[in-house]
Structure 1
Amino acid sequence: MGSRASGRHTRRPRQTGSSAVRPPKRARTRTPRPHRHVPRAHPAGRAERHLRGLAPGARTQHGHGRRDALRLPGRPHRRCDHRHAAEPRRARLLDGDPPGPARLHPVARPRGSSTPHRLKTVLKESEAVDRPTAQPQAETLVDALLERARGSAADLPLFTALGADGEQIGQLTAAGLLERVRAVTGALRAVAAPGERVIVPALPGLDFHVAFLASLHAGLIAVPVPALHTRAQHRATVRSDRLMSIRRDCAPVAALVSTAEDAEDARHADAGPEPALAWIPVQQPAGVEAVPPAAAASDPTATALLQYTSGSTGDPRGVIVSHANLVANQRALRDRCEIDSETTVVTWLPFFHDMGLCTGVVLPLVSGAAAVSMEPATFVSDPRVWLRAIEAEDDVFAAAPDFAYDLCVQRIPEAERARIDLATWRVAANGAEPVRAATLRRFAEAFRRSFFREEVFSPGYGLAECTLSVTLGQPLFPTPVRHYDRTALAEGKAAPAAPSPDSVELVGCGTAIPGTQVCVVDPETRHPLAERVVGEIWVDAPGNCGGYWGNEAETAKVFGARIEGGIPGTEESYEGSDGGTREGSREASREASREASYVRTGDLGFLDGGELFVTGRLKDLLIIGGENYFPQDLEAVACSAHEAFAHQRAAAWPPAEERDGVAVVIETGERDPEVLAEAVRAAGIAVAKALPAPVSVFAVGRNKVSRTTSGKIRRRACAQQMAAGQLRPLAQWSSR
């Protein structure tokens, strides 16, 4: 592949039915155009292109690809020097797409039930559906790798790693990846038997991909964990404590590291009370004998990994994820987003987290897509690297938690945004933490000149106990942003309301992905609830995992839950063609729901027109005066009360000494004592107006609010740290 003068990675070649490679396109001149904003069209899915009469290689009226036709004058030319035989996805400009201010659509309908304004001429209501496509049908991840390594795409880039400046630091084809996986498998088999556990830490470059897949190839159970710092392993840190807890829980026999030197350092550092591990380097010397996959590698029912939960409401627990869970869940995500061999997944998410592992490693293998990755630290240091990697590809799926989109707005100056072209970003998934409408609006407005449109956002909901995805917004359809009465929500009812200080703004997290059923249930009676009634979210899906490792009591509580009674609104679907009675239909509904096995998520929410709205965690719920209040709602109120707290993290909890009160701690970069005093007072008064109880507000420095590895607020940990005096406030205010 050719390299660009900028030093950043080149766009990957595309697979076609022929193995021929088209030579580089000749240079062409550009005709200057008046400086004006040109609304861009979304990269079209196959079904949408068919409706428009566009072939995958269709051209714009100027004979160039869409990216060039839409480029603003003066932008640097960012096309790759070399192109492959397959043309990228293209889409023509749609007539009547106004360049007005970016906005989210507060629609009163489920996503996919109607057509956004810009696609009305090409899509019908019935076409907002999930479309299974002819894609890899392997039943395990190892089989998917073998299938790809033996197919026509064997020598095309599969995984690409970028460095701190966006330069390519590693690339693996399917054939090359399989060769390395087989070499590591041989080393693992010398120290571990099938079914034993192996620690797979976050490793640099593409070493994690090799380590994870080699563990599965050897028939072992992978245990992804954060990066190991072997030279300082015994320092009392949260990360080392978490690792020791995981080792005690699953008793691994081996751990993978990058090099032989790393393995030697780890052996010297690993002198704790736990049994010693066999430390295996991923970078094996050339000529190591390759071995075939273990029988478990092709068994869909075999356990593939233990995904330890983030621990936002307690200690991490190892979720038992089978090969079938991984494949089924990511196939459903593939079909929802129409991901195929023309798609590139661009990610910075940590691979030890379920969202990073599934979207960055599993999804490309089960969909035929390629993936481009970078270290999380690279994104945090310079979010432009992530956006430029998206710009370099033709059809992009990229997922990130809510804070990441805010970070892009904060860290990238306006002048820099105008030089970034996000026209090919088709799916911007938002999950792993509460999705805020304000974040979506800010990002869409800030990057409108970069050809980003708000319909690209696809908020979603998921959890490790269901492998990952449960719901996701239909790509290229408006995100439902709705207001509900605050008082009614406290009583457990979602009553639509006009925007006002007395209403709560919530973002819809989409409908259930294919093959998944979501039900909102009364956690006490286990009876299903009607729409717009708040209850616990239960999930029945092929991605539902097998339980918690070595914890039968918690497994019985969470997995395999049964609903008492039929699901509201489903009676009609169980009426037979023979015109069965209404009573018979209700009985069929009750019987079907009794047979279904659900995962109790512990999350609270409600359904509105089939769209899932998440309101909080059951364990975090604040019960004041007999009514329910959600901590993230109070945190949002506090952060919006003063500019010193804008776009900051906060945690709310009931202090032990005040059963009906609430404490709120908020991060801030402000240090002026007078400004801080004004800020905590404003936040305290705002929260006090939202609930009838004593309020205490504490301002702390940035990065002081405890979070999980996925960025979720650890409210209980914050309460413990505040009680122990470990969180020293910069300012405080109390209504007492």
Structure 2
Amino acid sequence: MHRTLASSAPSPTRPPRLQLPCPATLVEALLRRASGRGAARPLFTALGAEGQRLEQLTAVELLGRVRATAAALGEVGTAGDRILVPALPGTDFAVAFLACLYAGRIAVPVPPLRPAARRRPADCADRLGAIRRDCRPVAALVASARDALPGEEGAGLAWIPVARAPGHPDLLPDPAALDPRAVALLQYTSGSTSEPRGVIVGHAGLMANQQAVRDRCEVDSATTVVSWLPFFHDMGLCTGVVLPLVSGAAAVTMEPSAFVRDPLVWLRAIEAEEDVFAAAPDFAYELCVRRIGPAERGRVDLSTWRVAVNGAEPVRARTLRAFADAFRPSFFRPEVFSPGYGLAECTLGVTLGRPLYEAPVRRYDRDALARGTAVPAASLDTAVELVGCGPPLPGVRIEVVNPATRRVLPEGAVGEIWVDAPGNCQGYWDREAESARTFGARPAGSAEGGPYVRTGDLGCLDGGELFVTGRLKDVLVVGGENYFPQDVEAVAGAAHEAFAHQRAAAWPLEEDGPGVAVVVETAERDPEVLARAVRAAGVAVARALPAPVSVFAVARHLVPRTTSGKTRRRDCADDLRAGRLPLLAQWSSLPPRPAGPSERRRSV
């Protein structure tokens, strides 16, 4: 069933927004901003760890620094060459990213070159090395010359400091900077199910996607975007840099570490503005509930928060409820939440809830979902609670397709989500065969629309809303029916207080025999409590899933995740099998395996 929805009507609390001609590229948007009426108004404001203002740039100042940095890039390579843009502090990332585009180069956002202590340097080096091998960049932009990587790590790259002052006022943008058909950036996927791949994002797709978000959420010059999201991730890049330029809004940003250290800094920054758009993954709202106490909640005013996007990982109804309940004294309204769904292959957004309309939460029958149909649950014991991620953004068409037959499924049926949108990207860098499979899909027996992006995600359409049920590659097949790992993880986490609000990973025990494995993080260390917890989780999962169950408790931060916070279930399975996960406790409904000859000799 085809679902092409028009932009929602303006909300009753805001007057209709004046429709202005849309710039064709982000550089054109910057040029317009720097020559318009708001040219002297702060565009980007960077906050420190305590929420103090570190730096501010108007559009005119930003353009001056962009031109100076683009002039330095002009000395290296040619148009179309790739440039690494690490997540730089303050306003440096925005300058570096836009300078790449201004110079006609292809920006490649990457994590910080020197990671924080909590992140494993080897993991970051491996990821950076994989990206360099894939796209062969000629240079990297850094905050200062001393930030260049030494030795072999830095060999083969020109290290260019971001300009600290305006320069080259007469420098014109490279023709590619004003060509909507040109490539703007490579957005490397976070690698939840595979090695990172460079998604080719064109200027036209980037603009179309964020213009659709702008129109759905009525973001304009009266709005301030407040973000702590990492710039090397698609949601952080679009929210913190692209959307403000496309919409005329201002942006207030801070380092991700500032939010993790004290989530209240984010909320205080929201409180300081008049009309706020802010986006974050589900875990961020949960962290606010756990880390900000009742007394602090009573001293923060969130009444100016108009759009609170929840996306980038599964949206949980319990998180929406918990945050709304916890911050009711802060004047937060539940209808401010706008759950969304998107992926790098479509630039970012695909669906998004309408602001000031409460997100629908539906309880579907677990067994019916396993058979591929979304029907209301008869009781809470058999229910899976799913949050509607909104209708498609303006201009976006979604089909739910049987992944085996490629036939379009009716509303209420669960299948793979396919997307036809102006923001669909051009493919994966230097991977033609894989690009054709993912970006060139067409439903069987239908010539309408397309080509589509195959998302690899499963879901259904219900009343015009998209409900996401899980990843196709992560599905647990039990007795010929499909179960979703996040549901199993939720059941395990809810079974005992030692596992409450903790990360979990579930997958089929294909190599070790029939059944399902669940690894749950915990801060608990009492062996007796842990023994009860793993047993409670195992019993709860076994009641919900007709299969043998094995549950393993591990310390916090040991379940692998991607750079955007998604659980890497395959890597977790590999770590468990290889003995790389130190176990605190375990329980299994599987019968013990007979000991092999070597194991019997060790037990003698």
- Shorter-chain TM-score tier: over 0.9
Question: In 2, Cα distance between the equivalents of 1:597 and 1:499?
Answer: 41
User: CA–CA distance in 2 between the matches of 1:493 and 1:440?
Assistant: 25
Query: Is this contact kept in 2: 1:270–1:276, CA < 8 A?
Result: no
Q: Give the partner amino acid of 2:202.
A: S
In the alignment, the residues of structure 2 paired with residue 196 and residue 547 of structure 1 have an alpha-carbon distance, to the nearest angstrom, of 17
Tell me whether 1:426 sits opposite 2:298 in the alignment: no
Equivalent residue in structure 2 for 1:247, among 120, 132, 139: 132
Q: Could you tell me how far apart the structure 2 residues matched to 1:655 and 1:427 are?
A: 41
Match of 1:665 in 2: 519
Which residue number in structure 1 is paired with residue 51 of structure 2? 166
CA distance in 1: counterparts of 2:130 and 2:47, whole angstroms: 32
8 Å contact kept, 2:65–2:167: no
Q: Quick one: which of 68, 73, 83 aligns to 1:188?
A: 73
Find 1:312's aligned residue among 179, 192, 211: 192
**3-state SS of paired residue (2:399):** strand
Amino acid of the residue matched to residue 92 of structure 2? D
Q: In terms of mean alpha carbon deviation, does 654-663 or 440-449 score higher?
A: 654-663
d(CA) in 2 for partners of 1:347 and 1:451? 20
The answer to whether the aligner puts 1:701 opposite 2:586 as a matched pair is no
**Contact 2:64/2:165 (<8 A) preserved:** no
CA distance in structure 1 between the aligned counterparts of 2:498 and 2:23, rounded to whole angstroms: 52
SS at match of 1:733: strand
Structure 2: stretches of 5+ with no match in the other structure? 1-8, 591-604
Amino acid at match of 1:733: W
Establish whether residue 216 from structure 1 lines up as the match of residue 70 from structure 2. Answer: no
1:564 alignment partner AA = A
SS at match of 1:362: helix
- How many residue pairs align between the two structures? 580
- Give SS of 1:279's match: strand
Deviation at 1:597, TM superposition (A): 1.1
Is the alpha carbon distance of 1:230 and 1:600 closer, same or farther for their aligned partners in structure 2, counting shifts above 3 Å? closer
| Distance (whole Å) between structure 2 residues aligned to residue 328 and residue 46 of structure 1 | 19
Correspondence for 1:271: 152
- Shift of the alpha carbon at 1:192? 2.0
How much does 1:261 deviate? Answer: 2.4
Q: CA deviation at 1:693?
A: 1.3
- Corresponding letter in the other structure for 1:592: E
Secondary structure of the residue aligned to 2:474 is coil
Indicate if the aligned counterparts of 2:64 and 2:166 stay in contact, CA closer than 8 A.
no
For residues 309-349 of structure 1, give each alpha carbon's deviation from its aligned partner in whole angstroms, at most 9, with x where no partner exists: 01001111000000001100000000000010000000000
Aligned match for 1:478, one of 355, 358, 367: 358
CA displacement at 1:538 relative to structure 2: 0.2
Query: Hey, what does 1:454 align to over in structure 2?
Result: 334
CA drift of 1:377 comes to 0.3
Give the gaps of 5 or more residues in structure 1. 1-44, 51-55, 57-130, 566-589
Question: Equivalents in 2 of 1:231, 1:460: separation in Å?
Answer: 29
Local SS of the residue matching 1:730: strand
Does the Cα contact within 8 Å between 1:135 and 1:367 map onto a contact in 2?
no
Q: 1:603 aligns with which of 452, 457, 460?
A: 457
String of CA shifts for 1:555-604, please: whole Å, max 9, x gaps: 01100211123xxxxxxxxxxxxxxxxxxxxxxxx4424xx210000000
Q: Which amino acid aligns with 2:453?
A: V
Kindly indicate which of the two structures has a greater share of residues assigned to strand: 2
Using structure 1 for the length normalisation, give the TM-score: 0.77
- Deviation by residue 1:680-735 (Cα, 9 ceiling, x = unmatched): 00000011111121111000111110000100000001011111111111010011
Give 2:507's aligned amino acid: W
Verify the 8 A CA contact 1:200 1:256 in the aligned structure 2.
yes
In structure 2, the residue matched to 1:153 is 38
Structure 2 counterpart of 1:620, from 460, 474, 498 = 474
2:437 to 553, 557, 574: 557
Q: Does 1:592 align with 2:448?
A: yes
Distance 1:486 1:289 in 2: 62
**Sequence identity of aligned pairs in percent?**
68
- The answer as to 2:104 corresponding to 1:140 is no
Please give the secondary structure, in 2, of the residue aligned with 1:271: helix
* TM-score normalised per structure 2: 0.94
Report the counterpart of residue 212 of structure 2 in structure 1: 332
Going from structure 1 to structure 2, the CA distance change for 1:322 and 1:336 (only over 3 Å counts) comes to same
Match of 1:436 in 2: 316
> Aligned equivalents of 1:644 and 1:396: distance in 2?
36
Question: Which residue of the other structure, out of 170, 179, 188, is the alignment partner of 2:64?
Answer: 179
Please give the alpha-carbon distance, in whole angstroms, between the structure 2 residues aligned to 1:682 and 1:230: 38
Equivalent position SS for 1:357: helix
Indicate the SS of the match to 1:209: helix
Answer yes or no: is the 8 Å Cα contact 1:136–1:368 preserved in 2.
no
Q: How far 1:285 moved relative to its partner?
A: 5.8
Give the distance between the partners of 1:511 and 1:478, measured in 2 at CA.
13
The residue number in structure 1 matching 2:495 is 641
Out of 265, 270, 281, the residue aligned to residue 385 of structure 1 is 265
Counterpart-to-counterpart distance in 2, 1:404 and 1:396: 17
CA distance in 1, matches of 2:530, 2:568: 24
Contact 2:114 2:121 in 1 (8 A): no
Q: Deviation per CA, 1:23-62: give whole Å up to 9, x if none.
A: xxxxxxxxxxxxxxxxxxxxxx975247xxxxx8xxxxxx
- Secondary structure of the residue aligned to 1:511 is coil
In 2 relative to 1, CA 132–540 (structure 1 residues): closer, same or farther, beyond 3 Å? farther
Counterpart CA distance in 2 for 1:182 and 1:250 is 25
Distance 1:557 1:194 in 2: 29
Distance in 1 (alpha carbons) for counterparts of 2:166 and 2:452: 48
Q: What does residue 578 of structure 2 align with?
A: 724
Check the 8 A contact 2:64/2:169 in 1, yes or no: no
**Alignment partner of 2:566: what SS?**
coil
Counterpart of 1:682 (choices 532, 536, 555) is 536
Q: CA deviation at 1:524?
A: 1.1
Partner-residue secondary structure (3-state), 2:221: coil
Q: Whole-Å Cα distance in 2 between the matches of residues 275 and 551 of structure 1? A: 25
Aligned to 1:536: 416
